[in-house]
Every structure is written in structure tokens, then in C-alpha cells.
Amino acid sequence: MSGHDHHDHHHHDHDNHFTPIEARVKALESLMVEKGYVDPAALDAIIETYETKVGPRNGARVVAKAWTDPAYAERLKADGTAAVAELSYGGRGGEHIVAVFNTCEEHNLIVCTLCSCYPWPVLGLPPVWYKSPPYRSKAVIDPRGVLADFGVTLPEGQRIRVWDSTAETRFLVIPLRPAGTEGWSEEQLAAIVTRDSMIGTGLPQLDAAS
């Protein structure tokens, strides 16, 4: 069973509509590669870093603080944007962040059905699959099947709630804190929080702890 929150006014930064600045960056990037000033592989490595490492580490710190500081968790529930800003994360893509907390009864999954609205300051660049039509449609129709595609099997009794992100409301999933992490520091906890667990397509990875 899944609940799908749909907003009638779904305004987006569409994938194929760049702002003037973004268009200039794209053009400059193409020129740099064409002239041989930039190695495409190096460029890919930089993008991969921001997609999977730098950005999601911000979100992981938010999650770890929510796990260890009940007062912060309450502030995060009440006003996600303000609570995230407490950790100096914000800016474009960080407006109107809503934190949704997983429980034993409910697992949250984020999708943007019409484009790729995404909380960049806490999750970095959206992964390629997040923008894909198959993910956008299947997440709404068959969320349990999507999780299976990502190798995630939830208990039968845990329902899945699907949240439709928009430019006005961008969601951050606060995953359940894994058992066996009592007494861990925020730094240790942040290390097990994956990007996918903050989208809802994954779970924290205990084997990621150093």
C-alpha cells in the first residue's frame, strides 16, 4: 500500500530548460572538452564526486544529528529548511525542504514525477536514474517493486508512502537508525547513511562504517 501526495501546481526546473547561467556553463564545458583543456574522464570524476560524495555527506550529517539529538529531530520535523540551515546547508535547491521520517510502520520513497526536483544542498546532484521515466512512473505504480530493483526488501507489514517532490517542496528521508549503533558518534553514524537511504531507495549500510 502506498500513499501518493500529488500537488496540483507542479512547477519545476525542467531537465531540458537551463537557466542562462546553466546554459553558459554547459556551453563552456563543451568548449573546454572540445579544445582539449578538460579531460572528459576528469570531468566525469568531478561530477561523480559531487553526485555521490560531497552533497550526500551533508545530508548524512543531518540524519546523524537527527538520530542523536531528539530536539534537533523535532525541529527538523517542524521546519526542515530551517533545521538544515542550522548546519549551514542551504541555497538553491534547498528551499522548502521537508524531512520525512521512516518508522517501523512506514517507509518513505521520494520521486519527482514530472522532472527531477531534488534537495541539492543535502543530496548533491540527482543520480541519473532519478530522472528516468521508468523510475518516475514505477515508483508511483509499484513502489515495492522499485525497492526490490534496488535490492531492498521491507517487512510485509511496513507500508510505503510515496512523496512527489516539486520545486516548492523537496523531501529528505530520515531512515530508521539501525540496531547495534547505540553509543556511536555522529561521525560514525553519518558514515553509514547512503544517498539512496535519503531518497528511500536504500537503507543505511552498517558495512560502510570504518
Task: Please indicate whether residue 104 is annotated as part of the active site.
Answer: no
Q: Does 116 appear as a known binding residue?
A: yes
- Cα dihedral 142, 148, 153, 158, rounded to 10, equals -10
Q: How many CB atoms lie within 10 A of CB 149?
A: 14
Q: Does 185 appear as a known binding residue?
A: no
C-alpha grid cell for residue 124? Answer: 548533491
Q: Does 104 appear as a known binding residue?
A: no
Task: Please indicate whether residue 197 is annotated as part of the active site.
Answer: no
**The one catalytic residue among 2, 30, 104, 112:** 112
Query: How do the residues of the chain divide into helix, strand and coil, expressed in percent and rounded to 5?
Result: 45, 10, 40
Specify the 3-state DSSP secondary structure of 107. strand
**The one catalytic residue among 30, 88, 117, 132:** 117
Task: Please indicate whether residue 112 is annotated as part of the active site.
Answer: yes
Which residue is listed with cell 522499485? 146
The string of DSSP letters for 136-170 reads HHHHHH-HHHHHHHTT----TT-EEEEEE--SS-E
Whole-angstrom Cα distance, residue 139 to residue 202?
13
**The one catalytic residue among 2, 115, 132, 137:** 115
| Contact (Cβ atoms closer than 8 angstroms) between residue 110 and residue 200 | yes
Binding-site residues from annotation for Fe(3+)? 112, 115-117
Q: Which residues are catalytic?
A: 112, 115-117
